[in-house]
């Protein structure tokens, strides 16, 4: 009994350390994504970008953070006070929860003790992510509604309609991947793609659908209708200030980071790379490979944002419902027929 | 995997909740506080505010939400199938094909009735 | 340990459900109902019905409650324009709910106490086993569910027909 207790306590401490480190890395990546975004935008538009705070402007995210923390945090008189405070918190909370099921690598060996590089290997891993993606709508809807501002209301309704529309095509494109892998656990999905046996070779159409849906779910350009400055001022966060606004902006970058991690895990082999054993460097090679892929996809997200102009709202809804959903069903049926015909 | 495998999720939610609560409590104390009626009015691009934002919106959004609920439940049905897809072989595939047929029928009906027409 | 988790979840679900009923603001009600759904999803996890737990979150908390919020936003939720219910209506509602309670208690008292079900296979609630059962023994109900969805879609379109100008 005491042995079991000891084991679980050790496991508990291990998990707490893993969660804390992961949390810090998530926040750090999100912070430096803002810097990366501005540098990429500057590069694409032939400018310099932030270059005053520290060498190459590397301290810019820190300066932005300090500014967010020390700005006045005020609530409009007409707002529903508690919901107004709750909404950005809920949005940030949901964004922070999704990283739990992503396999960051195989195993680390620390003090001759194996440590799993995944917070929880859930049997239903990918559905866990879908669940939290679907909960992300609340932070936006309640924030927009509680602000009691017409721009916020329209921004919130637009954003949430867009998110729920693209969730369907996202779910359908994931189903085709699951048909190939036969499991919902992200750990097994990553492990099956050893070497260059990546899912992208079997699911090119599914990947494109997933990428488009991920862009729409993160409310990123060309789908950033919710905060379309020319029509809606700031969208659902028009009335927010200080760190509440910071939460909304920050959570979007966390969502982008996690989306890129999911894309890398589902379609691009996760921590696998041909000729590289994820167990090298005491297990640190897996996370390094995965992070290289994630950073590449974050760059792709930014590249898309600064290259493609924004959609109109009717175009956005038409793309989601009339193109992506039939296309993803077609992809699913083709995958099923293909696998059954070729493997029998 | 047993239910105890969900313990780390609870831990992570506690960490996230703690972080969010801490920031939401501490940050309002750091900044300055200067209230005035004009400043705390809702932002309406500089003009005087008219009424409040408790107003009805287009029914198309509601339509999208209703159809989303229906299609979402249908999509959920595919997950248990996809996991067992290889074992089921053609029998399961035809059962799902029939379901997809009904799904597409409903989709086509909704499409023809113009529920997705946003430019009218 | 399991018992304590169960009790915590049960108490949380009952309290949030009561708060859902009693809160004046409909948006607060929606939020409390979401918390109730989370507590119930926790119960599903305790029963090792993991797929059901996550589907509960995705469908109820992630889809149906979003629809509720949309409906609340469609309504004109001005406190000034909200129609006040007369006492007459309150009495009628109390009578209707009271008779439902009476019927339910009567039905429950008349029922036979079933033997506590023994969980034969603790892995029965996992998605693999669920899928096997759903697509072998329950294929026909599954297809009928598809037709039910079709009917629901027709209904939804007909409800919105006047305003959509079809």
Is the ipTM higher than 0.85? The answer is: yes
Residue C159 in domain: yes
Residue A3 in domain: no
Instruction: Share the mean pLDDT of chain A.
Output: 86
Any idea how long chain A is? 344
Residue A3's pLDDT band, with cuts at 50, 70 and 90, is: very low
Residues of chain B with Cβ-Cβ distance to A233 below 8 Å are: 43, 45
Instruction: Share the mean pLDDT of chain C.
Output: 83
pLDDT at A253: 92
pLDDT at A7: 56
Q: How far apart are CA B110 and CA B68, in angstroms?
A: 12
Q: pLDDT tens digit string along C71-98?
A: 887 776 665 555 666 788 888 989 999 9
Cβ-count burial of B41 within 10 angstroms (0-12 exposed, 13-18 middle, 19+ buried)?
middle
A96: contact with B, CB 8 A cutoff: yes
Domains identified in chain C, total number: 2
The answer to whether the Cβ–Cβ distance between A74 and B40 falls below 8 Å is: yes
DSSP A281: G
Residue C103 in domain: no
Task: Evaluate whether A96 touches A29 at the Cβ level (below 8 Å).
Answer: no
**Quick one: CA dihedral A208, A210, A213, A215, positive or negative?**
negative
The subunits that touch chain C, with at least 3 C-beta pairs less than 8 Å apart, are A, B
Q: Which residues pair with A114 in a beta bridge?
A: A109
CATH number at residue C36: 1.20.120.1200
Give the domain range for residue C149.
124-166
Q: pLDDT tens digit string along B16-73?
A: 999 999 988 888 888 788 878 777 777 777 777 776 777 777 778 888 888 899 999 8
Tokens of residue A189, six digits: 């999905």
pLDDT at B91: 84
Q: Which residue of B has its CA nearest to C163?
A: B59
Q: Which of A89, A120, A178 sits opposite B8 (nearest CB)?
A: A120
Q: Which residue of A has its CA nearest to B46?
A: A233
Domain end residue (candidates: C42, C59, C76): C76
Q: pLDDT tens digit string along A185-214?
A: 888 888 888 878 888 888 899 999 999 999
Where would I find the H helices in B1-120?
Answer: 7-30, 59-83, 85-112
Q: Which CATH number, 1.20.1260.10, 3.30.200.100, 1.10.10.10, 1.20.58.1610, labels domain B3-112?
A: 1.20.58.1610
pLDDT of A4 above 60: no
Mutate which: C67, C141, C152, vs B, most B CBs within 10 A:
C67
Residue C113 in domain: no
Give the domain range for residue A218.
77-343
In B29-88, the residues whose Cβ lies within 8 Å of chain C are 52, 54-57, 59-63, 65-70, 72-74, 76-77, 79-81, 83-84, 87-88
Q: Are residues C137 and C68 in the same domain?
A: no
Where do the domains of chain B lie?
3-112
Specify the long-range contacts of residues A47-51, CB closer than 8 Å, at least 24 apart. none
Residue among C43, C46, C47, C52 at smallest CA distance from C130: C52
């Amino acid at each position: 009994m005491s042995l079991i207790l000891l084991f679980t306590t050790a496991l508990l401490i291990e998990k707490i350390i893993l969660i804390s480190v992961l949390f810090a890395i998530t926040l750090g990546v999100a912070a430096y994504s803002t810097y990366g975004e501005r540098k990429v935008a500057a590069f694409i538009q032939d400018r310099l970008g932030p270059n005053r705070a520290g060498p190459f402007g590397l301290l810019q995210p820190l300066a932005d953070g300090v500014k967010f923390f020390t700005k006045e945090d005020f609530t409009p008189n007409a707002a529903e006070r508690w919901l107004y405070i709750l909404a950005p918190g809920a949005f940030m909370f949901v964004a922070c929860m999704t990283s739990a099921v992503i396999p960051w690598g195989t195993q680390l060996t620390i003090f001759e003790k194996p440590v799993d590089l995944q917070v929880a290997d859930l049997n239903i891993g990918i559905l866990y992510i879908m669940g939290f993606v679907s909960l992300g709508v609340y932070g936006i809807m309640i924030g927009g509604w509680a602000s009691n501002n017409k721009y916020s209301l329209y921004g919130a309704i637009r954003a949430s309609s867009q998110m729920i529309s693209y969730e369907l095509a996202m779910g359908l494109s994931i189903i085709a991947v699951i048909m190939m892998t036969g499991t919902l656990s992200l750990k097994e999905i990553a492990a099956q793609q050893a070497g260059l046996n990546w899912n992208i070779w079997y699911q090119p159409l599914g990947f494109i659908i997933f990428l488009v849906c991920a862009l729409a779910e993160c409310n990123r350009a060309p789908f950033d209708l919710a905060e379309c400055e020319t029509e809606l001022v700031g969208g659902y966060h028009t009335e927010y200030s200080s760190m509440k606004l910071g939460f909304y902006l920050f959570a979007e970058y966390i969502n982008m980071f996690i989306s890129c991690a999911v894309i890398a895990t589902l379609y691009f082999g996760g921590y696998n790379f041909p000729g590289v054993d994820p167990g090298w460097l005491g297990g640190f090679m897996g996370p390094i490979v995965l992070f290289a892929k994630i950073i590449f996809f974050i760059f792709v997200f930014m590249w898309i944002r600064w290259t493609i102009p924004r959609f109109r709202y009717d175009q956005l809804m038409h793309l989601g419902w009339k193109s992506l959903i039939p296309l993803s069903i077609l992809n699913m049926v083709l995958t099923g027929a293909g696998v059954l015909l070729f493997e029998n | 995997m047993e239910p105890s495998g969900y313990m780390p999720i609870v831990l992570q939610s506690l960490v996230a909740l703690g972080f969010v609560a801490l920031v939401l409590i501490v940050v309002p104390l750091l900044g300055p506080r200067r209230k005035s009626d004009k400043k705390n009015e809702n932002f309406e691009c500089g003009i005087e505010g008219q009424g409040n934002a408790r107003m009805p919106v287009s029914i198309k959004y509601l339509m999208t939400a209703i159809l989303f609920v229906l299609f979402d439940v249908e999509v959920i049905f595919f997950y248990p199938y996809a996991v067992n897809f290889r074992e089921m072989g053609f029998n399961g595939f035809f059962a799902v094909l029939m379901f997809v047929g009904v799904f597409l029928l409903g989709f086509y009906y909704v499409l023809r009735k113009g529920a997705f027409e946003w430019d009218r | 340990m399991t018992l304590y988790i169960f009790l915590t979840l049960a108490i949380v679900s009952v309290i949030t459900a009561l708060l859902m009923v009693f809160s004046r603001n409909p948006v607060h009600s929606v939020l409390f109902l979401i918390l109730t759904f989370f507590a119930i999803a926790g119960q599903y996890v305790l029963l090792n019905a993991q797929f059901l737990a996550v589907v509960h979150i995705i469908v109820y908390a992630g889809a149906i409650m979003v629809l509720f919020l949309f409906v609340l936003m469609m309504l004109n939720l001005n406190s000034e324009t909200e129609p006040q219910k007369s006492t007459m209506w309150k009495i009628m509602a109390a009578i209707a709910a009271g008779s439902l309670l009476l019927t339910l208690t009567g039905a429950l008292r008349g029922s036979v106490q079933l033997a506590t079900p023994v969980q034969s296979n603790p892995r029965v609630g996992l998605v693999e086993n669920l899928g096997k059962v759903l697509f072998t023994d329950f294929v026909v109900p599954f297809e009928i569910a598809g037709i039910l969805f079709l009917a629901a879609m027709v209904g939804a379109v007909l409800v919105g027909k006047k305003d959509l100008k079809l």
